[in-house]
Structure 1
Amino acid sequence: MLEYLLLAISALGMGYIPFFEIYLAIPAMMVAGMGPVSAVIWAGLGNFAGVPTILFFYDQLSKIPRFQNWLHRMEHNRFRAKIERYGGIMVLLTTVFVGVWAVAAICRSLGMSRRKLMLTTGVSIFVYSVLTAYSVQVGLDWFQS
């Protein structure tokens, strides 16, 4: 039980950290012995936690010079115009490429509703988490054969 708890905390933490997100957390946890369903749940929850963090602490983070520069870089990336033009459907598609932190910052600065942002990023994280876990499982099965 303690081992599972440590893996779950690790998955949450890795999923939460920008640039690691689900694409490192899920494979790392599955290689460490966590099942694919648990890896998807814990890493997905950790990854999704970045959305409320940006939504609720955006104003406070933007007052800190280091975070202000970081938020500015995330808000003005190449996908901003596409998200601005296509809205939620583009959030579903670009979260995988840009990352949930950048998507949340862009959508926050564009004024997208919290509900729409949380729903679209949640669906996107779930779909890409399942696809990642499936790919890793197929690779592990092939490697063990």
Structure 2
Amino acid sequence: RIKHLESQIGFELFKRDKGKLIPTKEASVLYSEVEGMFFLFRLIQQKIVELKEATSGTLRIASTPSVGNTIVAESISSFLSGHPEVRISLDISKTEEVNDQVFHGLCDFGIHTMAMDRPGLQFKPTRLAEMVCAVPIGHSLESQDKICL
């Protein structure tokens, strides 16, 4: 398939070395151009799943590994023990991906440790360690000075 694609576009995407594929400079440039398309494709897939499963009542949280695998996961577990009917999804990603997910509506809010200057997002301090909660402009949590998890 790769050879077929390379013949269609007229240049090599990968160097082949002892059974390994090594991306060429052209492949890296092409990948950086289509990376955003992959992100949008995941967004569309998520929306399709939500529509199929009618999971609009699910709370979707994105977080970085440093806090998502510890404090946030523990907070979710504690909350669910008293509210078993609630559905919560937690996606662990890099900081910028967490912000992208919040901005594009892939999650309801994001938790990480760095407040940033990013148009379209507000960063609010939390009471758990040194973290911020990223929420889209107009979100109900935007009016809160601090957010308790």
Q: Normalised by the shorter chain, which TM-score bucket?
A: under 0.3
Structure exhibiting the larger radius of gyration computed from Cα positions: 2
Scaled by the length of structure 2, what TM-score is found? Answer: 0.27
**Greater relative contact order (CA < 8 Å, ≥ 6 in sequence):** 1
Scaled by the length of structure 1, what TM-score is found? Answer: 0.28
Greater strand content: 2
